Amino acid sequence: MTRPPSMIDWVLDGPWFRSAMRRRLTFLFAALIAGVLALFPRPYTAEAQLMPQESNGGLSSVLASEASGALLNLSVLTGSRTSIEEDVTIARGHQVMQEAIATLHLVGKPGYPDAQTAEAKLSRKVSVIAIRGSIIQVEATDHDKAFVKAFVGAVAEAIRGRLAEISLEQAAEKRQVTVNRLQDASVRLARAQDALNQYRLNKKLPSPEMQLGAGVENLAALQAQLQAKEVELQTLSEVATPNNIQIKVIQADIGSLRNQISQAQKTSGGALAGVAVANTEYYDRVRDVNVAQLLYQVYSRYMDELTIDEMSANQDVETIQPVFVDPKPEYNMVFVGLLCLIVALAIGAEYYAVGARSRRPG
């Protein structure tokens, strides 16, 4: 039982393809046309490479240098640098393509009646990808060498401009937050300094570090002497009567030391109960001033960094490979595929013809 004839059988059994000469000339002519169209017009590929700069500054680095990382939680005010994936997403955005079209003045030219049509056509030509982790590669292919080079250059510049614009917007938002924090830090520093000055006036401490430090040292020495005399009196009382002259002398020394300790406490602490309390309260106020001053310096420095970031926003994206046209020969891959298909059909047709002749009766 033979299979029913197919469409291929109907075509190849036709009068035209039944003739070996006409069949071969047909495939040869089709292959020549596909081969010529695979080479002409020649496609050109233009390429450019950009590298967004990493941000090594910011509030985190300032806080780390000022406080050994103790206040790094404040870095939430600034956020983190955008990743290369986010940069690529921005580079593929609608605004980048519209800016490139506007730069080339394509709207109104043949084939580009409006901006929407131009964007739809050119989006299929351009490719924006990330390579080697932190480099943005812009690539496009067209038959017009001058146009494709200008187009890739316009897209690269539009990407640089868009990333710079976003950097400026982020810097403006950070500046607004930092200004508020700087004002709060200024108020906190002023209050801490006022509290410290008022404490020094109330306690009559023109030089607290020297006065309180000397008071604590003097008091510690007197207390040590008092403890030694008490131990000496206790030891001597075990072997001598209360009327012993040495016991009387030691008791007199103990009384004198207690008077000196009481006077030292009153002199160093004023109305306070003891020098240790005065020392603690003073250094608590000094600590508040130091913390407030640290925060004020951090936000002041970060304001300076924001100013530098705004001034250098256009240099945040470095061009590591200017636009160039790939010198390697390019082919129209659609017609290359068509040529391969024609060759395969020609070979299949020859096998079919040989089989058809063998099936015919002698």
Q: Which residue has the higher pLDDT, 273 or 342?
A: 342
Q: Which residue has the higher pLDDT, 114 or 309?
A: 114
Q: Which residue has the higher pLDDT, 314 or 174?
A: 174
Q: What is the mean pLDDT of the chain?
A: 80
Residue 92 CA, distance from chain mean position: 19
Residue 60 predicted with pLDDT over 70: no
pLDDT of residue 64: 45
Q: What is the rounded CA–CA span in Å between residue 233 and residue 246? A: 9
Residue 330 predicted with pLDDT over 80: yes
DSSP 69: T
Residue 73 predicted with pLDDT over 50: no
Q: Confidence class of residue 8 from pLDDT cuts 50, 70 and 90?
A: low
pLDDT in tens, 200-259: 788 776 666 555 555 555 766 677 777 777 867 777 777 667 888 878 888 888 888 888
Q: What is the rounded CA–CA span in Å between residue 134 and residue 54? A: 9
Model-level pTM?
0.64
pLDDT of residue 276: 53
Question: Residue 130's beta-bridge partner residues?
Answer: 136
- AA letter at 249: V
Which residue in 355, 181, 188, 204 sits closest to 287, CA to CA? 188
Q: What is the rounded CA–CA span in Å between residue 158 and residue 101? A: 10
Both tokens of 286, joined, read: 């000094």
Q: Are 26 and 17 within 8 A, CB to CB?
A: yes
pLDDT of residue 72: 42
Q: What is the rounded CA–CA span in Å between residue 31 and residue 343? A: 7
